[in-house]
Structure 1
């Protein structure tokens, strides 16, 4: 059953990654909680395995999504060069930080994050400035914060970076494309941290490197990389308000499911 769910999850999360520039973590995480619990993963490492594996998947989906957005000239590489160093450092520190948090506590934090993310998706943000902001200190600091939160929660950071880039004056499509590119260093740095922190764990399942479960990571990752381009095409063709709100309610349901575990 889990193999079928991996393929289904990869297909769905890839489309979402391309559509919203979010990496797909907010759909991958609750699904991995369900699958890994079904597989009998130890409760003490469950949340860490979920988050580390989620970041591994996001490497695939973010690369594919970024490539497709870049073809449509929707990635601000100048801004990426500014935020990438602090994002890498922040994501690595986030993965290390998560390794010292109890699994139950981490699971509760993830559920709380999903609630906040869903509310954020439902409500419109105030209009961004008409002209893009050009200072570099703000993006560097914001990149560190986005990277750290993404490393802790095992996500690509789009929930934080898309609104931030939008409020700096990027068009919504450019904010999404640039966010997708940010997911690459976040996922690589964060997943490596989860691997290293989990190497000495005694109760790891077979075929794991630290807190990254390879079968799930590879299958879901490959599938998401194949479908991300479809999400990108949808994003550049349709109005997103109704889809965004529907997706937000889906995320809320997943968050409530985690809180009731």
Structure 2
């Protein structure tokens, strides 16, 4: 109770993050990590935690919150027929291989590099969607070999920066002339394949940093998880309902706008701390 009374503002901010992350999970298929990671990164620093520890714990905690959020989002998208299970059957094993490698590397990596990677991935993804080619780069997905490489990379980089996979899955699929709504729904399922093994790896293999926030086990912070999850699960179906009413072009613009704001802010924060 003392922790709650002393940190009520931060707890309320985490709950607000849960609402927004839930809406994004359903709307964009991103699992909410694109919002959760930077918010937790800044909030944990407000508690007096080092930037390196804040980023590592934010990454692991974000992945843990994505697990139940993705389940809720998958069910909502599947009711609308927007989850491509045939594609997932081939992609799942390669996503998992990438996740296991990426999540293990997180337990051994300096937090500042994770923060920089997050900012770069988010910013480049947004720029590609905003000012890149308006038409699909390819007329269809590549063969099974190419798709295997794509799936492995999505699992690897998504697990390293604490995102559910939509950040990379949605643009990857749409660049290959894949329907936008179906890309979003399928990305929600990719988020579950990424977040569950990644969160477990960081929980079990990760060594708790000395200055980690209260009630952190491995690299996962339970108060952050508890504040965010109920609201993400509640609001993910709302986001999915909104997504089904938007046209594909609008969906891409919303997705890109969220990415570029978040990515630039995270990258700027990290570079300032590193070089000034």
TM-score, normalising length: structure 2: 0.86
Q: CA deviation at 1:57?
A: 1.2
What corresponds to 2:104 in structure 1? 96
Determine the C-alpha separation between the residues in 2 that align with 1:66 and 1:80: 12
Q: Is the 8 A contact 2:52 2:110 kept in 1?
A: yes
Q: CA deviation at 1:143?
A: 1.1
Determine the C-alpha separation between the residues in 2 that align with 1:196 and 1:259: 31
Q: CA deviation at 1:140?
A: 2.1
Q: Kindly tell me: are residues 208 and 131 of structure 1, through their superposed partners in 2, closer, same or farther at Cα, counting changes over 3 Å?
A: same
What corresponds to 1:254 in structure 2? 265
Determine the C-alpha separation between the residues in 2 that align with 1:129 and 1:117: 14
Q: Kindly tell me: are residues 257 and 122 of structure 1, through their superposed partners in 2, closer, same or farther at Cα, counting changes over 3 Å?
A: farther
Segments of 5+ residues of structure 2 without an aligned counterpart are 1-8
Pairs aligned (count): 261
Correspondence 1:135 to 2:143: yes
Determine the C-alpha separation between the residues in 2 that align with 1:124 and 1:53: 32
Determine the C-alpha separation between the residues in 2 that align with 1:44 and 1:245: 27
Q: Is the 8 A contact 2:129 2:171 kept in 1?
A: no
Q: Is the 8 A contact 1:111 1:259 kept in 2?
A: no
* Higher mean C-alpha displacement, 113-122 vs 218-227: 113-122
* Higher mean C-alpha displacement, 132-141 vs 227-236: 132-141
Segments of 5+ residues of structure 1 without an aligned counterpart are none
Residues 180-221 of structure 1 deviation map (CA, whole Å, 9 limit, x = unaligned): 110001001111121123236444433222111011112212
Q: Is the 8 A contact 1:151 1:190 kept in 2?
A: yes
Q: CA deviation at 1:61?
A: 1.8
SS in structure 2 opposite 1:260?
A: helix
Aligned mate of 2:191, from 156, 172, 183: 183
Determine the C-alpha separation between the residues in 1 that align with 2:244 and 2:219: 36
CA RMSD of aligned residues (A): 2.2
Determine the C-alpha separation between the residues in 2 that align with 1:214 and 1:2: 14
Q: Kindly tell me: are residues 120 and 134 of structure 1, through their superposed partners in 2, closer, same or farther at Cα, counting changes over 3 Å?
A: closer
TM-score, normalising length: structure 1: 0.90
What corresponds to 1:17 in structure 2? 25
Correspondence 1:112 to 2:124: no
Residues 139-170 of structure 1 deviation map (CA, whole Å, 9 limit, x = unaligned): 22211111000111111121211122223442
Q: CA deviation at 1:93?
A: 1.0
